[in-house]
Amino acid sequence: MFNWMVWTLPVAIVFIGVLVLIIGMTIWGHYSPPKIHKGFLGITTDRGDRVYISYISFAFFMICWIAFVEGALYVGVGLGIALAAVILKWG
Amino acid sequence: MKTRNNKAWFLVLPVILVVAFTALLPLMTVANYAIQDVFNPQSRIFVGMKWFYQITNDQLIISAFKRSFQFSIQALLIQIPLGIAIARIMPKSGWRASAALVAVSVPLIIPWNVIGSTWLIFSRSDIGLGGFLLNKLFNFDFTSDPKDGWGLILTVDVWHWTPLVVLLVYAGLRSIPQAYYQAAAIDGASSFAIFRYVELPKLRRVLLIAVLLRFMDSFMIYTEPFVITGGGPGDATTFASILLTNIAVGQFDVGRAGAYSLIFFIVIQIMSFLFYTVLTLQDREEVTKTK
């Protein structure tokens, strides 16, 4: 049925991860409502905003890494995750 | 703060179901294409990040992206001020208001291909009325001069989409209570001061929608250049979406096209997020103050 979507394992993991993330954030938000704070980004965000910002920052960082560094992909992934974590914590 | 009832979010579920079939499943498929070399569902090879390396170092694609950005910025700079100006001078009530609204909305209800064909014929320097005249006056020929081709596509986009800005701004202006204008009149405010300190702050929300819609639509512009110039002359109007279609449907290189689409998608996401954040900055400040 889904043969036409030419599934691969990495893509499946990413999308299931996003789904779990959204559902998890919803349940978490129900039991402990998110607090708004203002970090180094200079805008007021709650944790959902920061998850989104760190997610697209990671994606954009990876594109830049692939475009300008050309290689050492795992170093790039590590740095990208570090960047996302910094935004999540102090953004 | 009053606790909100979040159960209303369940009402969004049908939309999510529809979006799943029109956007999410295709997006997943594109993500799968982007890391494989697909010949058909049975024979495909996993290639990892190969397409991304190719895409990000391809000068054709990079210049197409630059062109799209340039086009969007020019379109916004023309359409938003023009839309506000037209909405401000439109009649406020009576049959004149209805007539003006209908007249303004005409470009919005014409199918996009028809708009392209109409302008194509209108602008041809041999048989088109506008094209013939401009050709005699300024030697205008959009099939050979890159500047003319660009200007023509920009003109068509302004003609097609300024009405949307006008309608949004007009609705926004009508929702401002008369009391504000009366207070401004008592203070002896000039017409510009009324616009700057009464209308513009009240219009912020509709302008947010207008800027977002117009940016995304002009960044993804496809039909008009496809019908009118076909991306030419040379590659003067080969915008990012035109090139993407050439790669995906023309060359049937779905792997490269998939990687290209994902990058396109992220750029749109980031630009929309930036616009949204900048334009709602004040609201966010107010939210924090009330806490």
Q: Look up residue B128 and give its DSSP letter.
A: -
Hey, is B108 helix, strand or coil? helix
Which residues from chain A sit within 8 angstroms of residue B288, using beta carbons?
Answer: 36, 38, 44
| pLDDT, position B285 | 64
Distinct helix (H) and strand (E) counts, chain A: 3, 2
**Contact criterion met (CB < 8 Å) for B35 and A4:** no
Question: Cα(B77)–Cα(B259) distance, rounded to whole angstroms?
Answer: 31
Q: Which CATH superfamily is domain B63-289 in?
A: MetI-like (1.10.3720.10)
Contact B173, B203 (CB under 8 A): yes
| pLDDT, position B102 | 92
**Contact criterion met (CB < 8 Å) for A6 and B33:** yes
Residues B70-100 as b/e (b if ≥16 CB within 10 A, e otherwise) read ebbebbbeebbeebbebbeebeeeeeeeeeb
Contact B122, B184 (CB under 8 A): no
B126: Cβ contacts below 8 Å, ≥ 6 apart:
B132
- List where CATH 1.10.3720.10 sits in chain B: 63-289
Burial of B244 (0-12, 13-18, 19+ CB in 10 A): buried
Hey, is B262 helix, strand or coil? helix
The tokens of B111 are what? 């199918």
Question: Cα(B16)–Cα(A40) distance, rounded to whole angstroms?
Answer: 33
Q: Give the max Cα distance, chain B.
A: 77
Question: Cα(B163)–Cα(B149) distance, rounded to whole angstroms?
Answer: 22
- When pLDDT is cut at 50, 70 and 90, the band that residue A34 belongs to is confident
Question: Cα(B74)–Cα(B237) distance, rounded to whole angstroms?
Answer: 14
Q: Which residue has the higher pLDDT, B81 or A91?
A: B81
Q: Look up residue B253 and give its DSSP letter.
A: -
Chain B contacts in chain A segment 58-87 (CB below 8 A): 59-60, 63, 66-67, 70, 73
Name the β-bridge partners of B281: none
Dihedral through CA A18, CA A21, CA A26, CA A32, nearest 10? -160
| pLDDT, position B127 | 87
Give B8-12 contacts, CB < 8 A, sequence gap 24+: none
Tens-digit pLDDT string for chain B (291 aa): 566 677 887 888 899 889 888 888 889 989 988 888 888 777 888 888 888 888 888 888 899 999 999 999 999 999 999 999 999 998 888 899 999 999 999 999 999 889 999 999 999 888 888 888 988 888 888 888 888 899 999 999 999 999 999 999 999 999 888 888 889 889 888 888 888 888 888 888 888 889 888 988 898 888 889 998 888 788 888 898 999 998 888 888 888 999 999 999 998 888 888 888 877 777 766 655 544
| pLDDT, position A49 | 87
Question: Cα(B273)–Cα(B288) distance, rounded to whole angstroms?
Answer: 20
| pLDDT, position B286 | 64
Hey, is B153 helix, strand or coil? helix
| pLDDT, position B291 | 45
Chain B contacts in chain A segment 1-40 (CB below 8 A): 3-8, 10-11, 14-15, 30, 36, 38
Does the complex come out with an ipTM higher than 0.90? no
* Neighbour count for residue A86 (Cβ, 10 Å): 14
